[in-house]
Amino acid sequence: MTLKIGIAGAGFSGAVIANELAKAGHQITVYEPRQHIAGNCYSSRDSESNIMQHHFGPHIFHTDKAHIWHYVTQLSQFMPFINRVKAMTQGQVYSLPINLHTINQFFNAQMSPSEAKKFIASQAESSIQQPQNFEEQAHKLIGEQLYQAFFKHYTIKQWGRSPATLPACILKRLPVRFNYDDNYFNHPFQGMPIEGYTPIIEKLLEHPNISLKLNTSFSAAMKAPYDHIFFSGPIDAYFDFQLGRLPYRTLDFQKETHEGDYQGNAVINYCDNSQAFTRISEHKHFTPWETHSSTVIFKEYSREAMPEDTPYYPVRLSGDNSLLNQYIELAKKQEKITFVGRLGTYRYLDMDVTIDEALTTSKLFLESLKNQQTMPVFTTL
Ligand SMILES: Cc1cc2nc3c(=O)[nH]c(=O)nc-3n(C[C@H](O)[C@H](O)[C@H](O)COP(=O)(O)OP(=O)(O)OC[C@H]3O[C@@H](n4cnc5c(N)ncnc54)[C@H](O)[C@@H]3O)c2cc1C
């Protein structure tokens, strides 16, 4: 039986589900309020310099899931790319994530891995058993000096809040390496799609069973003609913000064009409060296999999202999920709709997790049809 499926959002969540269900023979309509596809992974070439730009912040593909790496590399050629982030703080340039180079440079020492481990343990506050927030977690793991230099002010700029109000889980694992590995991500599969992310989404939506409506927002009132909806827009927007707005951080990007090489690296974080921006991304360094004489940089400023802003990061404060829980309860009373993706489930999700969840959701949907079961409103919460 062919079903009519409505999908809100043409980012990875919407496009993967559209592709899977179209291949299974269903008729799909994808609604996207923006004038372009690819959601926040949208990339396109700068008309003047021809440099590939990531319009909603730099996106580096990284995963530990072999099946997801296989999935994306079937859709695009990926070039090797390792993100090696630098940090400006207290008038010096350091290597991030904090590693043996950073520790030795910061403490003006020549420690071996085991010496550094002991030293950092001596800096850490061992009296904290169960850290209640980000600040306590940082004190417990790395101590006051590294926290002040690399985390405190960056976190305040990024979240607009005292680290004492943010959940400890933001800094869950040991944020320090006791070797000289400066690969920003730990995952075994890392790379950059040779022509950016937009052609990947284009390919996913390129199916005779999929019709795409750009510049068109999907609302609850448009649900009736469809057998099922997958909604990857903001969950509070679906309910017309009737309980209030879920808080988000948004980003402002200040673009500059220069000649030559501006900062010699793709990403430099500004960890202290000498600058209001959190980082500068120089996008031609994300495609080191290309040659460009000029360069485009983006200074990134974080602030609270207003109703007209693009929502970037959900703000989940420690112990305060009551509004989200109310929306979740409201959503669970709905029929024939599944909320997906970073906005539909109000979580930060990397691209690999987004794709994996969208594939799982599609599979569950097809199985639910086969077994005549009800499709859940959430497949991932
Ligand atoms: C600054 C930043 C940097 C990031 N960097 C990385 C990175 O380096 N590596 C990585 O793996 N991940 C990264 N991510 C995460 C990545 O952006 C997400 O994994 C991805 O965008 C999630 O896809 P999605 O489809 O769920 O959401 P989105 O890409 O946000 O797509 C949702 C779509 O729904 C649309 N929509 C909204 N409302 C409606 C409506 N009412 N009707 C119809 N459509 C609607 C939106 O316009 C949007 O196009 C980053 C995220 C941010 C914020």
Q: Is the CB of 89 under 6 A from ligand 1?
A: no
Q: Which residues are catalytically annotated?
A: 173, 177, 249, 279, 300, 348, 350
Residues near 280 by beta carbon (within 8 Å), at least 6 away in sequence: 262, 263, 267, 268, 270, 297, 298, 299, 300
pLDDT at 173: 64
pLDDT one-digit tens code per residue, 189-245: 999 999 999 999 999 999 999 999 999 999 999 999 999 999 999 999 999 999 999
pLDDT one-digit tens code per residue, 326-369: 999 999 999 999 999 999 999 999 999 999 999 999 999 999 99
Q: Provide the pairing of β-strand 279-282 with 294-304.
A: antiparallel
Interaxial angle between packed helices 351-370 and 12-23, expressed in degrees from 0 to 180 and rounded to the nearest 10: 30
Q: Could you tell me the two tokens for 308?
A: 């007209």
Instruction: Report the pLDDT averaged over residues 103-130.
Output: 95
Q: From CA 96, how far away is CA 73, in angstroms rounded?
A: 28
pLDDT at 318: 63
Mutate to test the pocket of ligand 1, among 342, 348, 357, 361 (most ligand atoms within 8 A of CB): 342
In Å, how far are 25, 41, 119, 258 from 18, measured between CA atoms? 11, 17, 52, 40
State yes or no: pLDDT of 289 exceeds 70. yes
pLDDT one-digit tens code per residue, 31-84: 999 999 999 999 999 999 999 999 999 999 999 999 999 999 999 999 999 999
Phi-psi region of 160 (alpha: psi -120 to 50; beta: other; left: phi over 0): left
Instruction: Report the pLDDT averaged over residues 247-268.
Output: 98
**What is the rounded end-to-end Cα distance, in angstroms, of the chain?**
29
182 C-alpha to ligand 1 centroid (Å): 27
In single-letter form, the type of residue at position 161 comes to: R
Mutate to test the pocket of ligand 1, among 232, 269, 313, 340 (most ligand atoms within 8 A of CB): 232
Q: What is the pTM of this model?
A: 0.97
Report the C-alpha dihedral over residues 88, 93, 98, 103, rounded to 10 degrees.
Answer: -130
